[in-house]
Structure formats: C-alpha cells, structure tokens
Amino acid sequence: MITTLHNLALIAVLAPLVGSLIAGLFGKKIGVKGSQLITIAGITVAFFCALSLAKSILIDHIQPLNETIYVWGTSGSYTLSVGFLIDQLTVLMMCIVTFVSLLVHIYSIGYMEGDPGVQRFFCYMSLFTFGMLSLVMANNFLLLFFGWETVGLVSYLLIGFWFKKDSAALGGFKAFIVNRVGDFGFLLGIAVILSYFGTLDYATVFAAAPKFVDSTLSIVSGYEWSTLTVICLLLFVGAMGKSAQLPLHIWLPESMEGPTPISALIHAATMVTAGVYMVARMSPLYNLSPTAMSVVMIIGATGALSLGLLAVVENDIKRVIAFSTMSQLGYMMAANGAGAYEAGIFHLATHACFKALLFLGAGSVIIAMHHEQNLHKMGNLRKYMPITYVTFLIGTLAITAIPPFAGFFSKDTIIEAVHESHVSGAFFAYLCLLIGAFVTAVYSFRALFLAFHTSERMDEETRHHLHETKPVITVPLIILAIASILLGMIIVGPMLFTEPKLMGQTMLVPQQLNVLGEIGKEYHGVFSMVLHGFLGLTFWFTMAGLATAWICYIKKPELPKTIALRFSTFRSILLKRYGFDAFNQLVFVRGTQKLSNFFYYFADAKVIDSWLVNGSGRGIQRIASLVRRVQSGYLYHYAFAMILGIVALLLWIVL
C-alpha cells in the first residue's frame, strides 16, 4: 500500500508539470486545443490521484506516508532531501487545489478564447498548480521553500500576463517584490531551524521542538529572545507576504490586473492560502510559543476588519472580491492564532469554493459587459444573466456566513473559537471578527445589488449584446455553487467535532489551547448548529450588514452619497487604503531611488570613477609629467643630479 501511495503522490505532482512543459515547449506544434487538452488532462489526473489518496488516508485510515524521494545534496552534517508527507492535511489541500484548478482550467477555455497568448496562459496555470502541490506535499522545509518560490514566480508571470498593459506589468512586479520581502523573513526562519535543529525534516524538527522551549538567542546584544518565538515569527513574515496580511497585503489588489481565472486560482485555493496552510502545518512549533500565536491572531483579526472596510468604497467588482479575500484570510489566520487550526483549514476549504465562485461569476459578468468592471456601470444583470446571478447570489450568501451555506459553518466556528480562546488579545480579535461579519455583509451585498439589481447603467450598445455566457463558463459556476451550499454541512462534524476527526493527529493542540474541544461539547449535529446559528451574534451582525446594504443601494440609493459627504475624512482614508501605498512609495520607493542616486552620483561616479579610477590615472599623468622634466637630455642636468645624489648619500652616512 505504501508503494501505491508513493506512486499516486508522484503522479499527482508531476502530471501538471508534464502538461505545462508540453504546452510551453511544443505549443506551436500541438496548437491551442492541444495545449488546453494536455494541461486539463494533467490537472484531471492530479485531481483523481488526490481523490484516491484522500480515500486511502481519510476513509480507509491507511498509515500516512512520510518518505524521502531522493537526496538532493549534502553539506557537512546537513542533508538536503526531497520528500513527501501524505497525511490528512496534505490530501485535503491536494483535493482543494486540484479541484479548483481543474474548474478554472475548464472555465479559461471560454474566458481566454481568442487571446493570442492562450497557450502560454495554460502553460503557466499548470505550472502554478505543480508549484502549489509541491508546497503542500513537502515533508521538509527545502521542498516547502521550493514550492513557495515557484508559486511566487509563476504568480508574477500570471498577474503580468498582459504585460503590454503598464498596469499589469507593474501589478506583477509589485506582487513579486512584496512577496520577496516576506520570503526573506521566511528564509531566515528556515535558516534558524537548520542552525538549531540541524535538519529541515518536519518530523524531526517537530519531535525536537519541546527541547527548545527554554532556549534563547540574541538578536540584539543584551536582549534574549525565545528561539521558538523567533522561528515562528520569521516564518509568519513569509505567511504575511503570501497570504496578504497587514502590512504586506498591498500587492493583492494590484494582482487583479491579471486575467480573471488567475484571480480565482491565486485568491481562492492556492497561493494566498499557502501562508494559512504553512502556519497550520507548523502548529507543533506555534503551540510552544504563546507570543507568536498572539501575534498571528491579532494581525489576522485586524486585517479581517480593516481590509474588509476597503471593499466598501471600491467600485471595481474584481477588487471588491480581492479585498474580501484579504479579509477572509484574516479570519483563517485568527483561527490559527487561537489554536483552532482545523477551523482555519475548514474555512480555507469552504472559502476556496465560494471565493472561486465569486471570482468566476465576476468574470462571467465582465465578459458579458465587454470587459467593463465598474459596478456603477452595471445594474439589473439578473434579467440578462440568470445563471450567473443565482450562482453569484449563492457565493454571496456563503461568504456572509448565512446558515446553512458553507461559509456559515467555518466562519461562525472561527468567531466562537476566538471568543473562547485564552491567548493574549483574544477579546480584541473577537470584536474585530464580529464587526467584520457586519462589514462582509455590507460590501458583499453592495456588489450583488449594484451588479444584478438596481437600474441599468450600462451604455446602449453593451445592453443590446448582454446575454448569459457559454456553458464552458456557467458549468464550473454551477459546480462551485453546489459545493458552496453542501460542503460545510457535509464535513463540519468530522472536520471539527466528531471522532475520529478527519484531520487525525496532524494539528493537535495542548489542552489549554483546545478551544474546538470546548465548542464541540455544545455540538449536537448539523441541524442543531444551523438553528443555533440563527440565534448567534454573528448572524445578527450579518443581517444588520445586509439591511444596511439594502437600504443604501435599493431602498434609498441617494443615501451613500450623503454618508460619503458626512464621513468624507474616513472615506478618504479608505480610498487611500490607510496610506500604506503612499508610505511605501515615499519611504521605500523614493527612499530607494534617493539611496540609489547617492550611490550612483557620489559613491560610483565621484568616489570610484572620478577619484579612484580616473583619479589614479590623472595622478600617474602628473607623476609622469614631473619625471619627464627630469629626463631633459642635457649632460649638465644629469651631472647635477649625480652630485645631489652623492651629497644625499654622504649626509645619510654621516648622520
């Protein structure tokens, strides 16, 4: 059986890579249809391998696979290897990644039709899936970092896919640079692990971690830090970049410059959830550092509220959903910080479905609107696009956590878990998440009402050509809509509360952090949880947000302008995105430019070129000019020089 797991794992990770290589290297020979077919076939193979692995691990309870595929290299006592860890968490992530990727690939056939770079697009998407699978299947930090950097690189290529458009090129560049900042911290964390533990293997590091609880290291002379806290915080810096947490969130809105299928792939189940997955995978380390857990929870909860507020003033339908992604990632991180890792991963799974649904629904709207993305130029689209409307509505109900849609089970559990947590900052985090539920309902239903309800605001030509999109686009929407309805109620019990748990022993927490265990005492089945949900604060905050959106955009559409004028200062702060971009532009971009100018004009041009290089040349010229005067060719000059030499020699002897 171990051999079967090994083979399935290899096929799952290599199939998308093979499809990508064939589409990229032989695209001209096999044509557009061939490229689409080969990449979709690769993802399909990976998906069914993931399902087979999931059945073996989750249902048949086969022993998880943890093995080294091959040794990449050795350096002294360090061994660098490539290996797979196929356990409950891995197979769940594999199913999520391949399922969403497969639907996005199929959807892209219709969305990218006629684009001259369509073969390159499918090549990149398949390569992206390979990178994400490498990340989630790794059993050591080396392969984790390889997958981490692969998705970062390919995301740059995908965001800047339409590179002839300046905004797309700059968006891809911004995403790449900001992620490198996070990755620097991530790499430092891995370096500290290698230095102290002597290995990069997960199992060995996790087993040895309790021995380092009292270990300290000195970053600044005279100040001692917990070694495990430093490791966890450095790893979390990487997660902040990948999962768009404050303050490394600024790249994600700009990533909307890429094609819409990429927005769904990056923001639903793959790249942006890599940080959430990594923190959950490293739970044996984070459990031993209360400080790190508190930081993770507070930053996550703060982002869930503050980044959600930005969506309220955004008019681009894709960017509204992008800000929503950052907010929902904050919920997942807050769950990790509270010790409710299973709840965070559960929300990751449900979020993958309804967020992909919302992005692909937005793409359907954009196609029908001839690539118009401004919500204020839409309206009453439900009349022309009933399938897109119904599926988008389901996605909205799921993201706002209205019972019994999938988002309710995961999001409501996270808020309750943070409420029950004893980690420092839990009450502040709870308030942020609770208010965030209100904000989520406001911006989600605002987008729904402006796009599909209200009066028609598009031009006459666009209205004349409005119609539902092709089945190749609507079928993935329907599948994701079904998942957004059923997934939560199907897996909430085995995922969070009932024994044996779906995640097994992969994310155990000590008793004092076991908030899900406390919540589980009140769990009496799906139906009971749904009924209880209608009585909870989260539901009523959500209803208040829905009512606010309905009053502002349906009942009294003039009210938003009045509110904007009344709270113009706060609105200006939101429009400027709290000044993060301005700060980065002023401090880092201009600061780097000024520093570069200093090094160029002073250090390089003046000191090196003028003083050292050209200066040495001019010095030699001056010396040569003086020496040349001595070599006059007159005999009495040489006789005089000889007399001076003799006198100098005599003086040296005498003195």
What is the structure's pLDDT at 61? 84
Read off the pLDDT of residues 548-602 as tens digits, 9 standing for 90 and up. Answer: 999 999 888 888 888 888 888 888 888 888 888 777 777 766 776 777 777 777 7
Is residue 457 helix, strand or coil? coil
- CA distances, 462 to each of 215, 440, 624 (Å): 66, 30, 80
* Residue 614 clears pLDDT 80, i.e. is over it: no
Best CA proximity match to 367, nearest among 263, 253, 470, 449? 470
What is the structure's pLDDT at 486? 92
* Residue 269 clears pLDDT 70, i.e. is over it: no
In this structure, the chain runs to a length of 655
Q: How far apart are CA 368 and CA 348, in angstroms?
A: 30
Sign of CA dihedral 76, 82, 87, 92: positive
638 C-beta neighbours (distance < 10 Å), count: 13
Contact 342, 284 (CB under 8 A): no
Place of tokens 């060995």: 204
* Residue 1 clears pLDDT 60, i.e. is over it: no
What is the structure's pLDDT at 511? 81
Contact 355, 440 (CB under 8 A): no
* Residue 541 clears pLDDT 70, i.e. is over it: yes
What is the structure's pLDDT at 466? 85
Distance of CA 603 to the CA centre of its chain: 38
**What are the tokens at 255?**
């990533």
Contact 546, 437 (CB under 8 A): no
More confident residue, 267 or 230: 230
Q: How far apart are CA 179 and CA 176, in angstroms?
A: 5
The pTM score is 0.88
Minimum mean pLDDT range among 30-39, 422-431, 637-646: 637-646
Read off the pLDDT of residues 437-458 as tens digits, 9 standing for 90 and up. Answer: 999 999 999 999 999 988 888 8
Best CA proximity match to 557, nearest among 463, 460, 449? 449
| Mean pLDDT computed over 454-467 | 83
Contact 240, 295 (CB under 8 A): no
Best CA proximity match to 265, nearest among 129, 361, 95, 144? 129
C-alpha triplet 103, 412, 571: angle, nearest 5°: 85
C-alpha triplet 251, 255, 256: angle, nearest 5°: 135
| Mean pLDDT computed over 460-465 | 81
DSSP-derived secondary structure letter, 207: H
Contact 554, 453 (CB under 8 A): yes
Amino acid identity of residue 565, one-letter, is L
What is the structure's pLDDT at 589? 65
Residue 24: phi and psi, rounded to 5, are -80, -40
* Residue 333 clears pLDDT 90, i.e. is over it: yes
Residue 315: phi and psi, rounded to 5, are -110, -15
What is the structure's pLDDT at 300? 93
What is the structure's pLDDT at 655? 67
What is the structure's pLDDT at 433? 94
Contacts of 539 (CB under 8 A, 6+ apart): 401, 402, 403, 412, 533
**What are the tokens at 250?**
């600024």
What is the structure's pLDDT at 418? 93
Q: How crowded is the C-beta side of 527, counted as CA atoms within 13 Å? A: 0
Contact 292, 234 (CB under 8 A): no
Beta strands in 410-567, from DSSP E residues, in sequence order: none
What is the structure's pLDDT at 551? 92
What is the structure's pLDDT at 151? 87
Q: How far apart are CA 83 and CA 298, in angstroms?
A: 34
C-alpha triplet 29, 34, 40: angle, nearest 5°: 140
What is the structure's pLDDT at 284? 92
Read off the pLDDT of residues 288-320 as tens digits, 9 standing for 90 and up. Answer: 999 999 999 999 999 999 999 999 988 888 889
- CA distances, 376 to each of 170, 317, 546, 549 (Å): 26, 10, 19, 15
| Residues in a beta bridge with 81 | 71
Mean of the per-residue pLDDT values for the chain? 87
Read off the pLDDT of residues 516-537 as tens digits, 9 standing for 90 and up. Answer: 888 888 888 888 999 988 988 9
Q: How far apart are CA 417 and CA 76, in angstroms?
A: 45
Read off the pLDDT of residues 43-65 as tens digits, 9 standing for 90 and up. Answer: 999 999 999 999 989 888 888 88
Best CA proximity match to 12, nearest among 129, 142, 139? 129
Distance of CA 100 to the CA centre of its chain: 16
What is the structure's pLDDT at 295? 94
Contacts of 551 (CB under 8 A, 6+ apart): 559
| Mean pLDDT computed over 454-481 | 86
